[in-house]
Amino acid sequence: MTQEKNILIRKATEIDIPIVMEINMRSLPENYWYGFYLHILKNWPETFFVAEVDGKLVGYAMTRIETSSDLVLLGLDNEFEKRDNVRSLINTLLDPIKSFLAKGYYGKVGHLVSIAVLEEYRRRGIGSRLLEKSIRISKEIYDAESMYLEVRITNKPAIRLYEKYGFRKARIIKRYYMDGEDAYVMVKRLKNIPTFSSKK
Ligand SMILES: CC(C)(COP(=O)(O)OP(=O)(O)OC[C@H]1O[C@@H](n2cnc3c(N)ncnc32)[C@H](O)[C@@H]1OP(=O)(O)O)[C@@H](O)C(=O)NCCC(=O)NCCS
């Protein structure tokens, strides 16, 4: 990987949205309307980043902070590993206990909604820098306990990137995408496991 020195990762502003939309259109089949970007920017301004190279916008990452009681999204359970893992039996036996302990437990989770880098700027560490910052700020500023995302099961570059930063496949959502492709839900736990005595 060539590390580029003149990469700037900064918080997005409203003025950046049209270019972010263009990068998104050129990189992904999942496209959104202006108001969607604006909503994320207004509500979670600290976790909407853009990447600049020599003053040109070449990438972005946007994260929404949600509250969830879903143990998978909280990074406390892993449905995907259960399917084909030797530990599956133990996990299955522990399930009712875990659910009982976690009843009513809510935590903040960072949802990486979208990340993309223009094709001609890929493999230079830009995606990594955007992801790294999204993880750090979700934890430090928004107090997120975990971070999750959906990714097409065939999107090897993205899956590799996420695995490099500690995300694990945790669930499959069948036909999640408009064209019928399945998604992996990938999750990274950001904090120590709660005791469940501190219900929120
Ligand atoms: C996924 C994406 C954001 C990665 O951005 P990037 O700037 O190229 O990422 P980096 O250069 O930081 O790469 C980090 C790691 O990701 C993995 N990776 C990235 N591109 C890869 C590729 N084409 N093949 C295999 N692994 C790849 C590698 O592990 C890489 O580390 P390495 O270069 O040390 O081997 C970029 O490919 C992209 O914009 N794709 C289209 C949009 C998309 O799919 N977004 C994700 C939707 S869930």
- CATH number for 135: 3.40.630.30
Domain holding 125, by residue range, is: 7-189
Whether residue 82 is contained in a domain is answered as yes
**Among 32, 52, 62, 128, which residue has the most ligand 1 atoms within 8 Å of its CB, making it the best to mutate?**
128
- For residues 52 and 58, the answer to whether their CB atoms sit within 8 Å is yes
d(CA 187, CA 147): 6
Model confidence pLDDT, tens digit, residues 56-86: 999 999 999 999 999 999 998 899 886 556 6
Whether residue 198 is contained in a domain is answered as no
Whether residue 49 is contained in a domain is answered as yes
Radius of gyration of the chain (CA): 18
Model confidence pLDDT, tens digit, residues 162-193: 999 999 999 999 999 999 999 999 999 999 87
H helices present in 28-175, as ranges? 34-43, 79-84, 88-102, 126-140, 156-164
Arithmetic mean of pLDDT, 114-135: 98
**Could you tell me the distance, in angstroms and rounded to a whole number, from the CA of residue 157 to the centre of ligand 1?**
4
Whether residue 1 is contained in a domain is answered as no
When divided into structural domains, the chain yields a total of: 1
User: Would the pLDDT of 198 be above 60?
Assistant: no
pTM of the model: 0.91
Whether residue 199 is contained in a domain is answered as no
Question: Which residue's structure tokens are 């997120």?
Answer: 144
Of 24-33, 148-157, 187-196, the range with the lowest mean pLDDT is 187-196
Query: What pLDDT was estimated at residue 104?
Result: 73
